[in-house]
Amino acid sequence: MKAFTEISWPIFNEAINDYHKTDNVDTPINNPYPLKSIEYYLYLKCWIDTVQWHFEDIIRDPQIDPVEALTLKRRIDKSNQDRTDLVELIDSYFLDLYKDVNVSEEATINTESPAWAVDRYSILSLKIYHMREEVERTDVSEEHRQKCQAKLDVLCEQYKDMTTSIGQLLDDIAAGRKYMKVYRQMKMYNDPSLNPVLYGAGKK
């Protein structure tokens, strides 16, 4: 069986490359994987991250129209929520995958769940893609390219470390040396009953 990182990394890069065929945040997703498969969710995860990466670029335009900026901020907020929901869904996949593991009495818990590690792995694939773009630019100084190459080298080292550590985490969970405990996100500002600006709006 392939390691999870051997499955996820090519899918992340596939999503990134597919997005950049148009390089447009309004391009509809065309997920090539079977609905509700883990591959489907991994592709969707990186697609969301890729679109949001470019949202973040656009909103930093100093000439952006304030009305457009507010609309874009709402889209970023929704993207963040979609990303969080999807990470939790991927964690549900891992919970089901390892539900029959005989957990050792000495087993320890990790600081983050497997899916949140995969979330950082997806974003790392984007960092590497865009830093490589900077290295390959022809309209910048050699100094710029060298600085970006140094950063790319660090990102590639991080890729190796994350590939190893995610693999070790999943191996440890599968062997019962670690156990999963998932805390669902509780973003109070998105909840009309918990955000005082929202629940107080009707009282003014």
**Residue 34 half-sphere exposure, CB side, CA atoms within 13 Å?**
2
Beta carbons of 51 and 59 less than 8 angstroms apart: no
User: pLDDT confidence of 173, banded at 50, 70, 90?
Assistant: very high
DSSP 125-156: HHHHHHHHHHHT-SSS-HHHHHHHHHHHHHHH
Spacing of C-alpha 201 from chain mean position: 33
Cβ-Cβ contacts under 8 Å for 156 (sequence gap 6 or more): 128
Q: What is the pTM of this model?
A: 0.90
Quote the percentage of the chain above a pLDDT of 70: 93
Two tokens, residue 117: 């590690």
CA-closest candidate to residue 187, choices 94, 106, 84, 99: 84
Two tokens, residue 139: 């309209």
pLDDT for res 79? 96
In angstroms, the CA 29 to CA 202 distance is 38
Residue 163, pLDDT > 80, answer yes
User: Tens digits of per-residue pLDDT, 71-122?
Assistant: 999 999 999 999 999 999 999 999 999 999 999 999 999 989 999 999 999 9
In angstroms, the CA 128 to CA 135 distance is 10
Beta strands in the chain (DSSP E): 108-109, 178-179
pLDDT for res 182? 79
